[in-house]
Structure 1
Amino acid sequence: MPEISVDVHIGRSVTEVYDFLSDARNLPLWFSGVDTVAEGSEPAGPGVTHVYRFPGRHRDQVLQCVAYVPGEHLVFRGDRMWNALGAQTPMYSFTLSARPRGTLLRLTVQARLTGALTLLAPVVAMAWRRDLPRDVRRLGERLGAPHCHVISAPRRVRLPISASAPAAAPTTVPPAFAPPAPPRPQLRPEPRPEARPAPRPEPRPASVPAAKERAPRSAA
């Protein structure tokens, strides 16, 4: 799932920026990920759906607000879109925080890919890396702050691991505040008993033949 983020400083208050972003009808005015949004009377909020078109497609899709924290966080998720290679589901996230001279906005785009489209994840990520800096500058112009400052573009890129590549073995990284592990006791091998040479057999005395009995001498 490619994921791209960009941080931008806009010289407008958090309320002004959030009110503009929460109205999905404003997305086509500056955001390259949305082509058109149909007019609707529903106010912004969680669960509210909008009919929109993704760039390059001619069928209407549903864009739903799945997260809504006024002045802080906003997430829109598009319908799953199918083609001959697979499917993709786009998600657009906006996180805001107040700054002394305006608002810090973090725009994150995610694209969940299935099928053969996963092989095109680097191409999708490359397109968002190219378009997001332009989009946030166009947003600043729409809000009357043309000198918005792009802090990082992109903030991070995360790509899926190819199914054909062998999965790397999981590694466990201890946190920085964890105490060092105690050293393992080194076990010394038990000394083996020295091999003693087998005792040599004592030499047996040679057998002495018995003395022949002398025949008695005959008397002269």
Structure 2
Amino acid sequence: MPSVSTSVFVSRPDTEVFDFLADARNLALWSSGVASVDADAVAPGRDAAYGYRYPGRRRPHRLVCDHFEPCRRIVFRGQRMWSPLGTQVPVYGFDLIPHGDGTLVRLSVTSCLSAALLLLAPIVAMAWRRDLPTDARKFCDLLGGPAASAPLHGPQVPASGVPGGDSGAPAATPLRTSPAPGGFDYAH
């Protein structure tokens, strides 16, 4: 069962960061493990279920909030996906720690594999070790935070999205309009 994690610092209060993460529709904005999430509004909380698409899959799956501890921890578990080699269940976890003038966020991905897919666990882990730091940087940029606190690979791109561009310029990201439980709803 490969598991990979990284940490980032976001210059926003833990309540705002948690509200953003609690709405699984926001995952599609920054996570490479989520291609899309149905636009239906779902009340955040334990057992909240979303329709989503895993990259490379045509069939929609369910994404369920497995753990919900406001301002501290949230976990989403994907539906078991079948392949000729076995099954995979992705688990996306987020731990929040208030820190100074922002929040330290630990992002983790665990892939629960079965059958012959277990033999591919090192490759799955390698892919997540490659993708998760990039996802963390996108998450941080989306919320307007500084560079990730964990070492990330590749060039740092300012919030403008243009290397060498004006880092004070806001990133161009779609905004969503439905209200969030704590008043912060960045993308919906």
TM-score past 0.5 threshold:
yes
List 4+ stretches of structure 1 deviating above 4 A.
none
Name the residue aligned to 2:37: 37
- The share of aligned pairs that are identical, in percent, is 48
Which ranges in structure 2 are unaligned for 5 or more consecutive residues? 153-188
| Total equivalences in the alignment | 153
Q: What is the letter of the counterpart of residue 87 of structure 2?
A: A
- Residues 1:103 and 2:103 are matched in the alignment: yes
Name the residue aligned to 2:5: 5
- Residues 1:138 and 2:138 are matched in the alignment: yes
The answer to whether the Cα contact below 8 Å between 1:133 and 1:150 also exists between their aligned partners in 2 is no
The answer to whether the Cα contact below 8 Å between 2:140 and 2:148 also exists between their aligned partners in 1 is no
In 2, the alpha carbon distance for the partners of 1:75 and 1:25 equals 14
In 2, the alpha carbon distance for the partners of 1:42 and 1:120 equals 34
Which ranges in structure 1 are unaligned for 5 or more consecutive residues? 154-220
| Cα RMSD after superposing both structures | 1.4
Match of 1:151, SS? coil
Instruction: After TM superposition, give the deviation of residue 152 of structure 1 in Å.
Output: 5.3
In 1, the alpha carbon distance for the partners of 2:42 and 2:54 equals 21
- Residues 1:58 and 2:58 are matched in the alignment: yes
The answer to whether the Cα contact below 8 Å between 2:136 and 2:148 also exists between their aligned partners in 1 is no
The answer to whether the Cα contact below 8 Å between 1:22 and 1:44 also exists between their aligned partners in 2 is yes
Match of 1:77, SS? strand
Output the TM-score relative to the length of structure 1: 0.67
1:77-126 per-residue CA deviation (whole Å, 9 max, x = no partner) reads 00000011111111011000100121110011110111111111111000
- Residues 1:125 and 2:105 are matched in the alignment: no
Output the TM-score relative to the length of structure 2: 0.78
In 2, the alpha carbon distance for the partners of 1:118 and 1:141 equals 34
